[in-house]
Amino acid sequence: MDEIEEDEPRDNHYNSKITRLNCNPTDIFGRHYLCPTTRPANLDRCLGNCELASTVMIFGCLAVLVVVLYFWWKKTTRDASLPPGPTTVPFLGNLLSVNPETMLDKFQKYRKKYGDVFSLVTGSKTIVVVSGYDTLREIFIKHGDVSSARPDIFITREVGKFKGIANASGALWKEHRTFTLNALREFGFGKRSFESKIIEELEAFVQEIHSKKGQSFNVHNLLNVCISNIMCSINFGKRYDHGDLDFCRLLDSVNQNLTNENVMLVATVLPFVRYIPGDPCRIKNLLANIEIAESHFRQLVKEHEQTFDENDLRDFIDVFLKRMKSEQNNPNTTFDEDQLVKIIHELFVAGTETTATALRWFCLFMIRYPKVQEKMRKEVYDVIGTSRFPRLEDKPSLPYCEAVIHETLRVGAIGPFSIPHGLSRDLHYNGFIIPKDALLIQNLYSSFFDEKIFPDPNAFKPERFLDEKGSLQNTEKVLVFSLGRRMCPGEVLARMELFLFVTLIIQRFKLEPADINNVPPEKGVMGVTHAPLDFLMKAIEIISTPPPQSEDSFTVFV
């Protein structure tokens, strides 16, 4: 590059013109760097060129800006081939309609106005929302071959690395979902071994409530700890004491992410926010918490490897390690440590938050509907009495309790929008095209509150699930575990947990609000799940608690 020599005289005209242009003409050595290719002798030409260059640059930038704005405007405008939806706002599209605080009601209104399949355009992603029992079945069962993928979004890419089960698609997902379901089934789904793990935790739960001595308390943490401990027994073969520091750290990192409510949604529709300095949306914090949890799980895997005995498979990690070892000479194996860590992380999170939230809704409904509580208790006392804990084999004899569980899942609407789905190719539906890169939302909530299926949908009425003979009916209409190929693989375990917790709570305690004049509202908040606002309650002991190793309780199953 040519430079102006240091001993060259300065040009006044040059300096004055530069001053007019409000530029610094020389650097500290007096070298002209405004237009480095030109010498002062050619100053006028240089300045002319510079002005021309600036003008060209300004027009160039404007042209780029216009092109960018045009494409952004296009991206925030609904294409005619898409399913219908609310009018888009230039450059924002329907971004304002994806506010988690208002989404439940808004989507109900949009369904009425635009039909069972409507679209929202956000610029970065096209969201297609599917509502209604029949249409959900059509898109996710009939067209399940196309609609069972996961989309490429923040959570699947940055959090899940497209691994595990919930964040994987295609062959990897199929292989590991089947493997995990078989492993859990073999290991104890629906069997006594799982029941004994749940009952072991129920003992601890009862003791904790007993220690409250009828004082008001928030059941939130206690339920989280108990339910996650069940997942720990299944995954890692051990439960933790409620005060264990490692366990508290693990739960804290998971809970922080769960209460970091809508970060996933924000990062999905506004992917650039993660680059804003200062982490205002706590995305880096979320990723750091994932790392804390996964290094805990990695450590557990290492410990298992050291004590592994293929003739004594203790838990899910051991079952996976056995498969890993049997495939160690297969260069294409997908059974590796990363995949194992992702799966146990998913099982831990998916298996804890959902079930614990359902049980919080249950406690809230019992406080609000004491007559339902009484009716359940009568059924439990008639069938089981008070001398032993409820068991899974009591289930068919307790249809009213089962009806209450279904009504809790329906009105509590724990996962109202399920987990986002993706598509393996464009899907033609009713004359519209749902594009391959769209994000498909299952609006399960629309079916829970559909008055054609559940008349008077806002009322908490367990009787709706019982026919004239008192037998269960219509329970399959509560799509809380989703439907089709991605349907929740933890349903069996969740139902076991719900039944045993709910019937035991009712058998042993009378639930009351902390303040009879201030009964907590039924209002839920949208986060990772749809959960009730925190509330205080009292659990008045009806039957004195048996000692932890009592004959009557879990020793029967161990």
User: What is the closest distance, in whole angstroms, from the C-beta atom of residue 92 to ligand HEM in the complex?
Assistant: 28
Taking the least distance from each CB to ligand HEM, the nearer of 373 and 418 is 418
Cβ-closest position to ligand HEM? 490
H or E stretch covering 537: strand 537-541
β-pair partners for 442? 130
Least distance (Å) between residue 137 CB and ligand HEM: 12
| Minimum CB distance to ligand HEM, residue 345 (Å) | 10
Shortest distance (Å) from residue 350 CB to ligand HEM: 4
Give the distance, in angstroms, between the CA of residue 413 and the centroid of all CA atoms in the same chain: 14
Which residue is associated with the tokens 């699930």?
A: 465
What is the distance in angstroms between the CA of the first residue and the CA of the last residue of the chain? 83
DSSP 8-state class, residue 151: -
If the CB atoms of residues 116 and 512 are measured against ligand HEM, the closer one turns out to be 116
488 is in an annotated binding site: yes
Q: Judged by CB, which is closer to ligand HEM: 172, or 419? A: 419
| Closer CB to ligand HEM, 76 or 446, in the complex | 446
CB of 112 to ligand HEM, least distance (A): 23
Task: Say which residues have a Cβ less than 8 Å from residue 503's Cβ, sequence separation at least 6.
Answer: 376, 380, 384, 390, 394, 398, 401
Distances in Å between the Cα of 155 and the Cα atoms of 151, 173, 430, 513 are 9, 16, 30, 38
Annotate 233-278 with three-state secondary structure: HHHHCCCCCCCCHHHHHHHHHHHHHHHCCCHHHHHHHCHHHHHCCC
Residue carrying the six token digits 């614990």: 356
Say how far residue 554 (Cα) sits from the centre of its chain: 33
**Residue whose CB is less far from ligand HEM, 360 or 486:** 486
Question: CA–CA separation, 136 vs 120, rounded Å?
Answer: 18
Structure tokens at 237: 């073969």
Q: Which is nearer to ligand HEM, 191 or 510 (CB)?
A: 191
Find the shortest distance in angstroms from Cβ 348 to ligand HEM: 8
Binding site for ligand HEM (CB under 6 A): 165-166, 177, 346-347, 350-351, 354-355, 358, 414-415, 418-419, 442, 480-482, 486-490, 493-494
* 419 close to 486: Cβ distance less than 8 angstroms: yes
- Which residue numbers belong to the known binding site for heme? 488
- Which residue numbers belong to the known binding site? 488
